[in-house]
């Protein structure tokens, strides 16, 4: 394990040297890539240096106990030795976690796309509620949310909604939300009091940068038009709505949330880049062996991951068999307990695979 970390430390030192060169920023793409790599390696290198200092403290304390004749100094050395030995397994465990295979996109912002599935108007209403849940959660983390596109229904629902979450490490947390979310409750339109089941799909994509995806202008058609819809939060009333059509994939992006055509165009391109980048990631993951993929962190998007049962007041995450009986808090954005449990289960699964491989 430590030979691997020493190699990483050498790589980190080389990257640090390269980003410190006077002309390092002249090639902006290379510079951004180096800065990202440096940021990703910093926690591991710092923890390894902390571990190494702790090992040095153990060696020095042992030497002092053996060589020192003063009993008071020996007692201090024994105390220092005891503290350092207690820290040793903690630091080793922390290093093992930091050595787990990293998702290269964990540090990125995200674009989230929610679509109503089975259930008609009830599914669209639930999609709007899940959108608000994520907005509240993002705000609790100090992240910024920007609406990109959405299609509202006349009764306050959303057939689909796409939005950006800007915040450090947003993808490392939000990626666990991809999949099918199911709601069980009595719809307001149901006169007989029967419980209905509806579904929505959530796709979480890392925000792509220009360096990740090259879009040929010949592959794009840009149309500008007046915004349309029910006049809700997704629509403005100026001639600034932008529709992008990407010929090679057939992807169509419609952005109308801003009053500025330039802003709508920028948001539409950001969503298109992220969709193209996500398609490439999905293709790469499909090519990887199942043993190398985390079933929690990069699960199948057609998989039912969570049920929100309103009559029973419970939320169940099926991947880790976690059930919480506080649906009100969760719908108001209190997702941290679920996400922490998913991260812990994902790490445990990866550690077990690493041990098996070792």
Beta strands at 179-185 and 304-309: parallel, antiparallel or unpaired? parallel
**Residues listed for the chain:** 358
pLDDT at 234: 58
What's the count of helices (H) and strands (E) in the chain, helices before strands? 8, 11
Q: Is residue 236 scored above 60 in pLDDT?
A: no
The reported pLDDT for the residue numbered 317 is 96
> Residues 225, 239: contact at Cβ < 8 Å?
yes
Dig out the tokens for 351 from the structure.
Answer: 């550690």
Helix ranges restricted to H, the chain: 2-19, 28-67, 71-98, 120-140, 170-174, 261-287, 327-331, 336-357
CB 338 within 8 A of CB 181: no
110-348 is classed CATH 3.30.70.1660:
yes
Is pTM beyond 0.85? Reply is no
Between 326 and 270, where is the model more confident?
326
Q: What is the pLDDT of residues 15-59, one digit of tens each?
A: 999 989 988 888 888 888 888 888 888 989 999 999 999 999 999
- What are the φ/ψ torsions at residue 314 (nearest 5 degrees)? -120, 155
In the 8-state DSSP scheme, what is residue 354? H
Please state which architecture CATH assigns to domain 2-98: Up-down Bundle (1.20)
Going from N- to C-terminal start, the domains of the chain cover: 2-98, 110-348
Please compute, for residue 153, the number of CA atoms within 13 A of its CA located in the half-sphere on the CB side. Answer: 17
Vertex 7: Cα angle to 94 and 60 (nearest 5): 60
């Amino acid at each position: 394990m430590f030979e691997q970390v020493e190699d990483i430390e050498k790589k980190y030192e080389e990257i640090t040297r390269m980003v410190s060169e006077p002309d390092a920023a002249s090639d902006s793409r290379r510079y951004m890539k180096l800065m990202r790599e440096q940021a990703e390696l910093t926690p591991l290198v710092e923890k390894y240096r902390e571990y190494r200092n702790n090992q040095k403290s153990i060696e020095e304390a042992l030497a002092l106990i053996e060589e020192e004749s003063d009993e008071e100094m020996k007692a201090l050395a024994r105390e220092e030795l005891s503290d350092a030995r207690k820290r040793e397994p903690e630091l080793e465990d922390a290093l093992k976690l930091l050595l787990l295979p990293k998702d290269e996109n964990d540090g990125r912002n995200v674009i989230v796309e929610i679509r109503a599935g089975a259930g008609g108007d009830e599914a669209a209403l639930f999609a709007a509620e899940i959108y608000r849940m994520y907005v509240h959660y993002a705000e609790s983390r100090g992240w910024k949310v920007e609406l990109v596109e959405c299609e509202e229904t006349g009764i306050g629902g959303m057939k689909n909604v796409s939005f950006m979450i800007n915040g450090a490490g947003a993808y490392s947390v939000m990626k666990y939300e991809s999949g099918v979310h199911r709601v069980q409750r009595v719809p307001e339109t149901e006169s007989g009091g029967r419980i209905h089941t509806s579904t929505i799909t959530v796709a979480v994509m890392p925000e792509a940068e220009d360096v990740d995806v090259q879009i040929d202008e010949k592959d794009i058609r840009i149309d500008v038009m007046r915004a349309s819809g029910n006049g809700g939060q997704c629509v403005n009333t100026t001639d600034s709505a932008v529709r992008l059509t990407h010929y090679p994939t057939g992807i169509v992006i419609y952005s109308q949330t801003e009053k500025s055509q330039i802003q709508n165009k920028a948001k539409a391109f950001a969503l298109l880049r992220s969709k193209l980048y996500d398609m490439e990631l999905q293709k790469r993951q499909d090519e990887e062996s199942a043993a190398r993929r985390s079933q929690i962190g990069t699960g199948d998007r057609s998989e039912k991951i969570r049920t929100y049962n309103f009559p029973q007041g419970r939320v169940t995450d099926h991947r880790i068999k976690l059930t919480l009986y506080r649906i009100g808090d969760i719908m108001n954005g209190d997702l941290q307990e679920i996400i922490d449990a998913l991260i812990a289960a994902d790490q445990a699964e990866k550690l077990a695979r690493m041990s098996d491989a070792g």
